[in-house]
Amino acid sequence: MATRAMTPPARAQAVDRSVARLFEAFDRVPVAAVIRHAEDLPRALASQVPAIFFVRAPAFHLGPLVWAVQARGKMAFVHIDLIAGLGKDRAGVAFLAREIGVNGIITSHSALVAAARADRVIAVQRLLLYDDLGLHSAMTAVEHARPDIVEVQPAVIFPLVVDQIRARHPVPIIVGGFVTEPHQREAALERGARAVSTSTVSLWP
């Protein structure tokens, strides 16, 4: 892809393959399970979701959880901004990517998106849309950081901003934040989200 012209070929191929694999899976089951409490993990492992997002997990006890996810043929993503105990920097990203072997990293920070790309894991950049000014600066950050995927939060904002995002930058979008009812999941998918992320167990197929 032209947007990857600056990326070393090896990284581009490896990550593009795993991004493609993720989206093939999302085309079948467009849901990522967000794990807020460890006790929800068995339900997520038993579900058909192709991806599991860890938020707020303790970094140095994350390995076995991630490996259990991958043993089920699912992809494990870690939200580094909220992980306790881990530096929000290149070394923190490298730990997750190299020592634990996560499939992807979720962050709102452009510098960490770049670090994730350098470490050859999928980079998901969260757009934290709490006001309309935030949209402009967040899109500038996305254009600069070039994540593999953008996650728009909260979901209720997505219909209000989807056209502006698409006009600015072509990037696959997943939607999360207060998705607790089936109709909210369907609404996001109808507007072009590739998947929704939710911690509501009943929404995991």
Partner 1 sequence: MRTPGLSGAMLPAIRDSNTLHQALDLGYRQLLVERGSLLAMVGPLAGAARQGVAIFVNLDAVEGLAADSAALAFLATDLGFSGVLSVKPHLLRDASRFRLRTVQRIHALDSTGLETGLNSVGQPAPYAIAIAPAVAIPQVMPTIRESTNVPVWGTGFITTTDQAAAVLAAGADVVSSAELKLWREFRGARIGD
Applying CB under 8 A, which residues contact partner 1? 34, 36, 55-56, 82, 128-134, 153-154, 156-157, 160, 176-178, 180, 199
Residue 64: is the preceding peptide bond cis (ω within 30°)? no
Closer CB to partner 1, residue 50 or residue 177?
A: 177
What is the closest distance, in whole angstroms, from the C-beta atom of residue 156 to partner 1 in the complex? Answer: 5
What is the closest distance, in whole angstroms, from the C-beta atom of residue 199 to partner 1 in the complex? Answer: 6
Written as one letter, the residue type at 14 is A
Burial class, 141, CB count within 10 angstroms (exposed 0-12 / middle 13-18 / buried 19+): middle
- C-beta of residue 166 within 8 angstroms of C-beta of residue 135: no
Closest CA to 7 of 107, 148, 153, 140: 148
Closer CB to partner 1, residue 82 or residue 189?
A: 82
What is the closest distance, in whole angstroms, from the C-beta atom of residue 61 to partner 1 in the complex? Answer: 18
What is the closest distance, in whole angstroms, from the C-beta atom of residue 5 to partner 1 in the complex? Answer: 33
Closer CB to partner 1, residue 140 or residue 180?
A: 180
Closer CB to partner 1, residue 172 or residue 177?
A: 177
Closest CA to 74 of 56, 93, 48, 100: 48
